[in-house]
Structure 1
Amino acid sequence: MELKPDRRDIADLPAQYQTFCHNILHFIPAEQVFVDPVRTYAYSVDASLYHITPKIVVKVRNLKEVSLLIKEAKKQTLPLTFRAAGTSLCGQALTDSILVVISEGWQNHSIADNGQKITLQPGIIGSEANLYLRPYSRKIGPDPASINYARIGGMAANNASGMCCGTADNSYKTVEDMKLVFADGSLLDTADAVSKKNWAAGHKEMLQELTALHEEIHADKKLEDLISHKFKIKNTTGYSLNAFVDYDDPFDILKHLLIGSEGTLALIAEITYRTVLDHKYKASSLMFFPDMREACLAVMKLSRPLVSAAELLDRIALKSVEDWPGVPSYIKTLPENAAALLVEIRAENQTALRKQIEQVKEKLASMSPLMPIEFTDVKAEYELLWQIRAGIFPAVGGIREIGTTVIIEDVAFPKEKLADAVMTLRECMNSHGYEDGIIYGHALDGNVHFVFTQSFSSSEDKDRYKVFIEDICSFVVEKYSGSLKAEHGTGRNMAPFVEFEWGKKAYSIMTRLKKAFDADNILNPDVIITENGNLFVENIKSMLPTHDIINKCIECGYCEINCPSRNFTFTPRQRIATQREIARLKATGEDPMLLKRFEKDYEFLGNETCAVDGLCQTTCPVSINTGNFTKQKRSMAVTPRAKDTAAFITEHFSGVSSMVKLGLTGANIAHTVIGTHAMDYIAGKLHDIGGEKIPRWTKWMPKSGSTPKSSHRGTGIGLKVVYYPSCVTRMMGPAKDDDDQRQLGDVMISLLQKAGYDVILPEDMDKYCCGMPFESEGHFEAADRLSAKLEKLLLTCSSDGEYPILCDTSPCVYRMKRVMDKKLKIYDTVEFIHDFLLDKLNLQKTDETIMVHVTCSARKMGLIEKFRAIAEACAARVIIPERVRCCGFAGDKGFKIPELNESALDHLNEEIPSGCKHGYSNSRTCEVGLAAKSGICYQSIAYLVEECAVRH
């Protein structure tokens, strides 16, 4: 499929957009510009309840592209919206105009002053920033629940906070400097005196307006007091007017105004934070109280720095997770009106931690908890408590009625009013029919979230939601002087209420700010400042059911960080959103031609380029495995002829294996005769012509593999293991340029013998396969037929499960463990070496730096730390790239669609240090793709361990 804009799709755009598109293609690569209806629709959702389809999506990768793009949009007077991860909950990352995606290419960082400061580009994920700071025992201040998925650009633009940062350590309080791109395309670096001088010379009117507003606010005591009061609690409604109260210098005012401005004033292209201490010692307590009022009264006695967090959980919230594995059984016995507080304490040492625990107990001595208050500083125990807290929102998404939308709202109250306000909130929810809605949140900051599910299938549904939100706004503002948005940003669902919360005078200042920064209103219009009072009930997304596997998706986007195709075609969220639109088009019958286009384009964008690795499930709040959905789709598309072919292969697997080996031998001979350059050129041309029918050759293409023929004796100490080399390693040997030219089977047997094992090899192995390649392509019957035959063989060889079974390819082991008799004790290379061999081997470390790739299947089996332990036992320095998860080779797709593999490994080379020559993994096909991308030899980790192992 052609991934560049089609001129016919461009021709379907309105005239101004056609001009814009043609012009930007002169300076932005065509593959970064999407105008077709399918890919633009894929970007039409974020984590909010809204759906708006952009006319054009542009992925920008540097400042120059952004500046030129904005200038062109200004020239055509076309609105644009910036987006990073799209985890926004209020619709601020959506547009019906031009969506500018800022993620890839925006991931540089630097650390200064021994970790006291960190400079970050907007494409960096929040948790990655903290990973960079870990050696300094520091972290960034903002700590939203989405920190593992949200990117810095969105976190700063929304002034995201979280459980521990409160109002003291959020982006507003910890920002040091910024690089900005304004609505005229101009650039400003607030840390650079020359940049400030040059920018100021061309923006005198803007700076004069900032100065004038500063003077007006300070001259109006009532307004100044209002602003100060509003920001004593969490508040992300409207612009950060506290910048005028807290600062005098125009540039200080400017950069603090940009925090929380949601891309409506300028783009934050880089931000420097002052970091905060990441305390080593922690303790947590899950406290239970008779009701919500008592829990709120308890939290009103607590404050920072004594406690770091105090999370409120109502009884309905606790019920949503009480059946989860590991959740204490006593939670089920709590009274109907009970509520909980999850309190965390952090300290620099154990003595201080103990002292703070006692102080908290003293503060709460007058309260009446349902059971004695106890803290735990055992990591596994307090992490379990926080898993309960983290599971609340996903639990609602998992149990919601299909077709409904999960809505999470976010308000804050002065802490002294918290108890009464929360009770009023509960009454309001009940009176509008949201009795099952959950109340929880960061009670230490007076910040409360409420979550409920809502169908929008009728006008009555929409009206009920509309009146409910209006009533919420009324009592939050008028009765309790609270914030309508505490930390999620204003977005589309609170923009109509900004003036209601702030009043006419403060709102007029906000409108003047918008005009001063963006006179043509091209930066994210209708977000924060809008004249549309119904904006919050327009463009509600449709959640039509499409398939049982994916129906529960809440479109949060948490899956996307793991997806190998995320920068090539679709992410899991986009696959699901597109499938929902296909279901809608089928149900309505409104546009048969558009439906045909969606179904046709989805085949490549959603189906063929899905690696079906299932890593999306590991970060999905409702545990959706989009890979399984893709396998189901592939299964439904299997033709009778393809089914017959798969059946033939299963019955003649040995012969097919021989043909593969013969092909690899022929390719290796050709490589040897004509050389790498000529082979690469010829094979590349053939692949371009033949597409997926002709595999893409690289110099790392394996030679023919071999099958070990007979069992081997160890040292006679009675240890036995069944070694089953997968069909992949039997067919694919080392590449011509691999450092160790031995077959993996020979290496593995040598290693097992060094550890004293008798090695039992199954007979006639070339007839057998676990079925994994067939399952991936949707040939379930063939896969199950093969695995059943192999299962029978392994039961015999292992003496009905008495002996452990070692298989050398992690994806195969992952399937075997899932589908085979549980009597079989099946181990991956990494797991077996770690659990059974390390203590039996005398390992002599190399002084090398090595790369390690943990395959997707190994990650799902929880083998990351075991992999690390093995590698560190053998090499002086071990690097496991943080941004590389699944390699995207996906069985044979790395040969057929090499772009998928290349895209998935986009960040691999930047993490390989100079002089590093070796990489290790535990899947032969993955190793081929890793070597092709990196240019260094990748082989099984067994090679490294065997090389370092000296016989006892």
Structure 2
Amino acid sequence: MSLPAAFLAEVQRLILRERRFDDPLSTLAFGTDASFYRLIPKLVLRVEAEAEVVALLKLAGQHRVAVTFRAAGTSLSGQAISDSVLIVLGDNWNGREIRDQGAQIRLQPGVIGAAANAVLAPLGRKIGPDPASIAAAKIGGIVANNSSGMCCGTAHNTYHTLAGMRLVLADGTVLDTEDPHSVQAFQASHAVMLQQLAELGRQTRANSALAAKIRHKYRLKNTTGLSLNALVDYDQPLDILSHLLVGSEGTLGFISAVTYHTVPEHPHKASALLVFPDVESCCRAVTVLKQQPVSAVELLDRRSLRSVQDKPGMPEWVKDLSANACALLVESRAASQSLLQEQLQLIMASIAHFPLEKQVDFSADPVVYNLLWKIRKDTFPAVGAVRRTGTTVIIEDVTFPIEQLAEGVNRLLALFDKHGYAEAIIFGHALEGNLHFVFTQGFDSEAEKARYEAFMQDVAQLVAVEFGGSLKAEHGTGRNMAPFVELEWGADAYQLMWQIKRLLDPQGILNPDVILSEDRDIHLKNLKPLPAADAIVDKCIECGFCEPVCPSKGLTLSPRQRIVIWRDIQAKKRAGIDTSELEAAYQYQGIDTCAATGLCAQRCPVGINTGDLVRQLRARDANSQRSADWLANNFQRTLQGARLMLQVANGARRLLGAPLLGRTSAALSKASQGRVPQWTPAMPQPLQRLHLPKANDDARPRVVYLAACVSRAMGPATGDSEQMPLLDKTRALLEKGGFQVVFPDDLDNLCCGQPFASKGYAEQAERKKQELIDALLQASRGGLDPIYCDTSPCTLRLMQDGLDARLKLHDPVKFIREQLLDRLHITPQDKPVAVHVTCSTQHLGEAQGLIDIVRRCTSEVVIPEGIHCCGFAGDKGFTTPQLNSHALRSLKDAVQHCDEGISTSRTCEIGLSQHGGIDYHGLVYLLDRVSQARA
């Protein structure tokens, strides 16, 4: 059924065309969240202001159109999808306000949870919720799902740390509970609603059995159904209303801001891993630990430990544990080191009488600490990595009363065996009796669907009926548990939830069939297919963790969406469906605008690099092999051609002037579909033919300087405050540090192969890489001398897929950190400096090293939030400038008070300078300026 024409006409007047999506590719891409359900919206709208939400809700009510809100789409139970209108958050929902030295923080719904904690960290505070998805999940979703996490428990979730809320009801009315004028106006306009809420509260509190049940349910971690505890915890209707919105999953209103009471983030922490011989003793220990000063206690059953025991870096002893072993990962945090040691002694003394099969003592050493948590965090991806292609990974989320935790674990294990889920594992937040169990499920046959339904029915009976627990502890009810809400809560509570829903959303337009549904089979409908597409991406679970670091997200597709569309194309082809239109759209949306830098792999639970898929697709279309061969075989001429193009551009600037040249080149670039590069004021001047000095053998230590091809072709921009080329500046700094600088022979013919690899010419890329390795071996005297590469992407390219073990290759950060800093005396400058950590620097593990070096050189370091990749991507800043522009759209505001920016890639610095409004230089420029040679 299509959307009403009158509704669509009004929407067109309200929302700009570039923020309305109704084409098949976009609606399919947005039809996916992290759950195992799929609904294709008829219309996707990206909203940028509360006024737009208000107007859309009024229109939706007028035309009876269902709407669903989405923040990050990392929810797991089907609560962020729609077959009607999907409203997603744009860029302008990122406001935050710190109050009272961090005791409170006001946040808009588009703020990523980890970003909120980052601004609170200097004050020793954090928000209470700490979901596993906090690096991707946004505040809107964290509040709407009442998310918790490993350290959050029940005391620090959004419900219990809520200080205020700004919300929009289904009728478009705005209420800000912290604004007296807003409250007064709402009390006047919605007096009847508030009276009814107050009456529901009185009736609920007067019903002793129902009130007792509600209090019992929320003694546990519980997100099944609406937050009925609001009716027993509060008697003021505004308090009831705001707390009902917490955990309502967009079914009662839109949350446009929330104020949290923050919690302490203690700086000192230590972790231990305790392995018990069986589940019973492990769970008995949990009840003891609950009384101790612990911040987290994570349970891992033997199956979960077995799932990670063969992964690289795992301790050997994990393989030798007994068949019934069960482990607890225990963490304690404190405000001081001495207090932490006291706590650790108390904790260990409390469980000294328990037999242990294996014990890793408490350690604050980051190496030990991170390894223990890696065991815990790798369990979920381990199941995803071994699933059969076409199946999905399901992570369920239940709570048992802690005193019955052992029996609950054993009964769940028995259900796995009964229903044939041999790969299923159990882990969870043991202090709250909150267990996650992970299993793989196919939905491609009626038999598989029936198996899943029988299993879920048994789980529901076990958890909700026999144990009086929660079927959802922190993942939200969604569609997944909607048919079981009445089973868990009983008829009285269930009808009370419906009364609340009909009071606040009388037309039923807000996220229908989520939390409350009259369809008893809703959890078995619209199940998401995960068809085979390519071995590179087939393990993708579509969680969305990759999206915050993707430079094209919001311009075209994110990594998750690229995979979704490619899966659909492949499935349609196998079914004999014409995909030409979809593939034509995918060329630009999925392939041309992908930076292919692989940051997505760092965030992906199963390590998928979507850029690898894109490079493979580019290789499929790479039909200029002869040209690629010529360029590879005549690389010196290729560089000469690049210098000539820069020289022509420089001449055109002098002839036409910068403004006219900018407009002309932009038009030509657009008309040629990127084949003519776009000129900007940050465009480099050309470097002429290199004149490299011969090495003079003397007593100084030698370093081989590999100047990347961009450093050999591109000088500073005309208006740059630094006019010495990078090659000369680097050589001068190395010599200042007492090094003898040596260049490889025939340098202008050498290339790491990156320009060829990024275009899909793998054979030529590999050939150039091997030529360079051979030249470096010769220049470094068989690996005797260290090699300094002045561009991080080239360093990464050489180190990928293995580098000759004899070569000691360094990117700028590593060489400066390890071999140059101690040779220099640094006098820090008193000027703020912006730092851009390139994708390659992150892959090389040198991000913190770069930041630390800059901190030694200047009084203030600025790291712009939310910019993980600049999107220049080699030459895409020239040929697809919109990618670079989109990725850096927030840069100028973040760095406007800085004098300069620092990075480690010459091409990245072009785009950064253009969009930041300040000059970006290589790290060596700053270091040279503030340093002197040590005597």
Question: Aligned ranges for residues 535-554 of structure 1 at < 5 Å?
Answer: 535-554=522-541
Which range is displaced more, 259-268 or 824-833?
Answer: 824-833
Amino acid at match of 2:645: G
Q: Which residue does the alignment assign to 1:34?
A: 21
Amino acid at match of 1:853: H
Task: Provide the rounded CA distance (Å) in 1 between the counterparts of 2:851 and 2:699.
Answer: 29
Question: Aligned ranges for residues 734-745 of structure 1 at < 5 Å?
Answer: 734-745=716-727
Shift of 1:373: 7.1
Q: Which residue does the alignment assign to 2:592?
A: 608
Of 572, 575, 587, the match for 2:574: 587
Shift of 1:346: 1.7
* 2:666 corresponds to 1:690: no
Residues 618 and 668 from structure 1, CA distance in 2 versus in 1: closer, same or farther, beyond 3 angstroms?
same
Q: Which residue does the alignment assign to 1:818?
A: 800
Shift of 1:692: 0.8
CA contact (8 A) 2:72 2:136 kept: yes
Shift of 1:443: 0.9
Of 297, 300, 303, the match for 2:287: 300
Show CA shifts across 1:385-423 (max 9, x none): 112111111111111111111000011011111111221
Query: What is the percent sequence identity of the aligned residues?
Result: 45
Shift of 1:560: 0.8
Q: Which residue does the alignment assign to 1:422?
A: 409
Question: Aligned ranges for residues 842-861 of structure 1 at < 5 Å?
Answer: 842-861=825-844
Question: Aligned ranges for residues 336-485 of structure 1 at < 5 Å?
Answer: 336-371=323-358, 374-485=361-472
Q: Which residue does the alignment assign to 2:259?
A: 272
Show CA shifts across 1:192-215 (max 9, x none): 010011122222222122011011
CA contact (8 A) 2:286 2:430 kept: yes
Q: Which residue does the alignment assign to 1:599?
A: 583
Shift of 1:710: 2.5
Of 837, 853, 862, the match for 2:845: 862
- In structure 1, stretches of 5+ residues that fail to align are 1-12
Task: Provide the rounded CA distance (Å) in 1 between the counterparts of 2:276 and 2:649.
Answer: 72
DSSP 3-state at the match of 1:549: coil
Question: Aligned ranges for residues 740-751 of structure 1 at < 5 Å?
Answer: 740-751=722-733
Task: Provide the rounded CA distance (Å) in 2 between the counterparts of 1:912 and 1:686.
Answer: 31
Question: Aligned ranges for residues 700-739 of structure 1 at < 5 Å?
Answer: 700-706=682-688, 708-711=690-693, 716-739=698-721
Q: Size of the alignment, in residue pairs? A: 933
Which range is displaced more, 153-162 or 354-363?
Answer: 354-363
Shift of 1:358: 2.6
Task: Provide the rounded CA distance (Å) in 1 between the counterparts of 2:631 and 2:291.
Answer: 66
Q: Which residue does the alignment assign to 1:932?
A: 914
Task: Provide the rounded CA distance (Å) in 1 between the counterparts of 2:489 and 2:181.
Answer: 37
Amino acid at match of 1:836: Q
CA contact (8 A) 2:283 2:406 kept: yes
Shift of 1:331: 1.2
Shift of 1:919: 0.8
Which range is displaced more, 814-823 or 277-286?
Answer: 814-823
Task: Provide the rounded CA distance (Å) in 1 between the counterparts of 2:3 and 2:260.
Answer: 43
Which range is displaced more, 707-716 or 62-71?
Answer: 707-716
Task: Provide the rounded CA distance (Å) in 1 between the counterparts of 2:252 and 2:688.
Answer: 63
Q: Which residue does the alignment assign to 1:782?
A: 764
Q: Which residue does the alignment assign to 1:560?
A: 547
Task: Provide the rounded CA distance (Å) in 2 between the counterparts of 1:372 and 1:548.
Answer: 39
DSSP 3-state at the match of 1:624: coil
Show CA shifts across 1:497-533 (max 9, x none): 1111111111111101111111111111100110011
Shift of 1:712: 5.9
Q: Which residue does the alignment assign to 2:236?
A: 249
Q: Which residue does the alignment assign to 1:919?
A: 901
Q: Which residue does the alignment assign to 2:605?
A: 621
Task: Provide the rounded CA distance (Å) in 2 between the counterparts of 1:707 and 1:337.
Answer: 70
Q: Which residue does the alignment assign to 2:222?
A: 235
Residues 304 and 83 from structure 1, CA distance in 2 versus in 1: closer, same or farther, beyond 3 angstroms?
farther
Q: Which residue does the alignment assign to 1:78?
A: 65
Task: Provide the rounded CA distance (Å) in 1 between the counterparts of 2:857 and 2:295.
Answer: 41
Q: Which residue does the alignment assign to 1:131?
A: 118
Task: Provide the rounded CA distance (Å) in 1 between the counterparts of 2:689 and 2:235.
Answer: 76
Of 890, 900, 903, the match for 2:886: 903
DSSP 3-state at the match of 1:301: helix
Task: Provide the rounded CA distance (Å) in 2 between the counterparts of 1:442 and 1:316.
Answer: 16
Shift of 1:911: 1.6
Of 735, 755, 765, the match for 2:747: 765
Show CA shifts across 1:684-727 (max 9, x none): 22223323122111111111024542336689442101112111
Show CA shifts across 1:231-251 (max 9, x none): 100110001100111111111
Task: Provide the rounded CA distance (Å) in 1 between the counterparts of 2:94 and 2:394.
Answer: 31
Of 647, 655, 668, the match for 1:665: 647
Q: Which residue does the alignment assign to 1:500?
A: 487
Residues 799 and 113 from structure 1, CA distance in 2 versus in 1: closer, same or farther, beyond 3 angstroms?
same
Shift of 1:336: 0.8
Q: Which residue does the alignment assign to 1:4?
A: none
Task: Provide the rounded CA distance (Å) in 2 between the counterparts of 1:461 and 1:796.
Answer: 61
Which range is displaced more, 370-379 or 791-800?
Answer: 370-379
DSSP 3-state at the match of 1:345: strand
Of 36, 42, 50, the match for 1:63: 50
Of 638, 643, 651, the match for 2:622: 638
Task: Provide the rounded CA distance (Å) in 2 between the counterparts of 1:505 and 1:913.
Answer: 58
DSSP 3-state at the match of 2:673: helix
CA contact (8 A) 1:708 1:746 kept: no
DSSP 3-state at the match of 1:57: strand
Task: Provide the rounded CA distance (Å) in 1 between the counterparts of 2:843 and 2:6.
Answer: 47
Q: Which residue does the alignment assign to 1:10?
A: none
Q: Which residue does the alignment assign to 1:5?
A: none
Q: Which residue does the alignment assign to 2:174?
A: 187
Which range is displaced more, 231-240 or 58-67?
Answer: 58-67
- In structure 2, stretches of 5+ residues that fail to align are none
* 2:854 corresponds to 1:871: yes
Amino acid at match of 1:144: P
Q: Which residue does the alignment assign to 1:523?
A: 510
Task: Provide the rounded CA distance (Å) in 1 between the counterparts of 2:505 and 2:217.
Answer: 25
CA contact (8 A) 1:712 1:758 kept: no
Which range is displaced more, 235-244 or 360-369?
Answer: 360-369
Of 274, 277, 290, the match for 1:290: 277
Residues 731 and 304 from structure 1, CA distance in 2 versus in 1: closer, same or farther, beyond 3 angstroms?
farther
Task: Provide the rounded CA distance (Å) in 1 between the counterparts of 2:647 and 2:840.
Answer: 29
CA contact (8 A) 1:494 1:536 kept: yes
The two structures have a TM-score, normalised by structure 2, of: 0.98
Q: Which residue does the alignment assign to 1:892?
A: 875
DSSP 3-state at the match of 2:254: strand
Task: Provide the rounded CA distance (Å) in 1 between the counterparts of 2:805 and 2:871.
Answer: 29
Q: Which residue does the alignment assign to 1:326?
A: 313
Show CA shifts across 1:172-231 (max 9, x none): 000110111111112111100100111222222221220110111122111111111111
Which range is displaced more, 325-334 or 526-535?
Answer: 325-334
Task: Provide the rounded CA distance (Å) in 2 between the counterparts of 1:637 and 1:683.
Answer: 27
Residues 19 and 822 from structure 1, CA distance in 2 versus in 1: closer, same or farther, beyond 3 angstroms?
farther
DSSP 3-state at the match of 1:435: coil
Show CA shifts across 1:231-281 (max 9, x none): 100110001100111111111111111110000001111110000111122
CA contact (8 A) 1:103 1:122 kept: no
CA contact (8 A) 1:850 1:917 kept: yes
Show CA shifts across 1:732-789 (max 9, x none): 1111111111111111111111111111112322222111011011100111121122
DSSP 3-state at the match of 2:362: coil
Task: Provide the rounded CA distance (Å) in 2 between the counterparts of 1:803 and 1:179.
Answer: 62
DSSP 3-state at the match of 1:489: coil
Task: Provide the rounded CA distance (Å) in 1 between the counterparts of 2:48 and 2:697.
Answer: 58
Q: CA RMSD in A?
A: 1.5
DSSP 3-state at the match of 2:363: coil
Task: Provide the rounded CA distance (Å) in 1 between the counterparts of 2:817 and 2:229.
Answer: 56
